[in-house]
Amino acid sequence: MAIDIGHSAQQPGAISSRGVGEYFFNKRIAEGVHAYISAQRCGIKSFLINNQDGALSLTQRARLAGASKADLLISIHHDSVQPELLLFWNFKGQKQHYCDQYKGYSLFFSEKNADSYNSMLFAIFLSSEMSKNNFKPTLHHAEYMKGANKGLVDAEKGIYKFNDLVILKNATMPAVLIECGIIVNRDEEIELNNNECHQKIIISITNAIRKYAKVNNNK
């Protein structure tokens, strides 16, 4: 099981409504999933990609997962919105951007992945586990992700196809990217910084991995 920490300390991705880089949200969840899997002793081995704050390219991340013979790759991210939707506020004397209009998780897979069927299957499992823990999907991506290579596949489950997303299409194993929540939403950022919320996301991801492993081991 390869767990990719999206972005890097040098290029942190989206910036939250309170000025925190997405990478630091991603790292916390990815390390939590890795630790939880290890503590469960469930027969699943996991390893982290990009845990040394290195500026690895998306292609390099996919290659590392392949070189380590991972059976599944999950890339951990946190979301923003389109720039034109952002507003501004003052937080602790600093001008920050925000958008409280949307909240929730989203899941992405690529039809160009080496095993798109099982990528979609894992996305379904993960959506189910997120739902059990009362997380709701966001559909704001559907408003601009349209076309043959990307778009909303399942509104109820929050699953999108993004065929040319590099880490997903280049992976030699099933691969899914999760946006755990929208960090430019001021209330959701607070929730995503809550330890109980962390654990629910970590447990959701881990249970989806276990369910996926069980199905594939029974084939």
The enclosing domain of 167 has a CATH number of 3.40.630.40
Q: Indicate the range of 35-44, 107-116, 173-182 predicted with least confidence.
A: 35-44
Q: How far is CA 88 from the centre of its chain?
A: 26
- CA–CA dist 16, 186 (Å, integer): 8
The alpha helices in 9-102, defined as continuous H runs, are: 22-40, 58-67
pTM, whole model, 2 decimals? 0.96
Give the residue among 92, 108, 118, 100 at the shortest CA–CA distance from 165: 108
Question: What domain count does the chain have?
Answer: 1
pLDDT given at position 187: 98
CA 44/CA 212 separation, integer angstroms: 11
Task: Check whether 173 has a pLDDT greater than 90.
Answer: yes
Give the domain range for residue 14. Answer: 2-217
CA distance 216 to 212: 6
Mean pLDDT of 173-191: 98
Q: What is the pLDDT of residue 51?
A: 76
